[in-house]
Amino acid sequence: MATPAQVRGTLRIVKTNRDLASWLISHRNEIESAMNDRLGAAAPGVSSPEAEALRRFRTFTSSALMRGTLSPPALDGLRVNQRRTEALLLAWIEAAAGLADADVPLLREALDPLVLQFRMHLRGTQAGRKSRGTPRAKRRFVIAAIDRLSEAFLAIDTDTGTIEDANPAAGALLGLNRDELLGVDAMSFVPKTKQSLFWRELDAVGEGVENHVFAATLSDSHGVPLELVASATRYATRGRTLALILLRPELAQVPLQNPESQSTL
């Protein structure tokens, strides 16, 4: 992560660009629509804290480009999941770049330092520190091990159904970056006809079932159905219960070939 001194050094090259500011303002709905299309079920709700963070980022960006000065972004009262918000900032930049066509290098040159500045201020807020926490050595080791798993991993709050953590394999399975999943309702990735069954499994974990395996039907960010085998483990922490779920593709039933039908030479 860049140091504050590095950030200040980077910010010196930020220049006034009223044309880009006007373009971002006039295309804000298209950018948001393109971002939401890619995120699918993980798109932030209109009234969510993360959507508010994106609105404040747009205001911060357009103001900086218009005036050529960098005032600290307004983050008062904003309580967000830091990792998810940073992932959404990058998703927003990608969506803007997708609409910019030939002007992508210019857009990134102008916006990358502003994203860095916004992220640094976000990480410095009390809400950001509380959301991020200070992982102990043992917890860092566990997180690193989970990230290396080839199976998709989701930690889901059994009361709210919120995805509290995920690994890169889960992001790949659902067609998103890992941090874009954080804070999202897990039911967003479960077909409506299967949600009651999935809730039943979460309730079982919440009510004390330590380990169990069940069939799970999910859909990725594009709505493609996924037939999976889920292995859930109960983990109680900080007054809540998490279902730690590993997801594997359901093995296809391949019929055995009848030896008598094989031709012999």
Q: 42-89: per-residue pLDDT in tens?
A: 999 998 999 999 999 999 999 989 888 778 888 888 888 889 999 999
Tell me the one-letter amino acid at 226.
Answer: L
Q: Which tokens hold the place of 34? A: 């393109």
**Residue 265 placed within a domain:** no
Measured CA to CA, the distance from residue 151 to residue 249 in angstroms comes to 9
**Residue 262 placed within a domain:** no
Examine the domain organization and report whether 144 and 227 are in the same domain: yes
Residues of the chain with pLDDT under 70: 1-14, 102, 125-143, 251-265
Short-list 155, 85, 147, CA closest to 120:
85
Residues 6+ apart with CB under 8 A from 109: none
**Residue 236 placed within a domain:** yes
Instruction: Provide the β-strand partners of residue 166.
Output: 154
Examine the domain organization and report whether 94 and 16 are in the same domain: yes
> Whole domain around residue 196: which residue ranges?
135-249
Measured CA to CA, the distance from residue 39 to residue 174 in angstroms comes to 10
- The pLDDT value given to residue 148: 83
- The pLDDT value given to residue 126: 46
Examine the domain organization and report whether 241 and 125 are in the same domain: no
Of the three residues 68, 102, 131, the one that is the final residue of a domain is 131
Examine the domain organization and report whether 126 and 152 are in the same domain: no
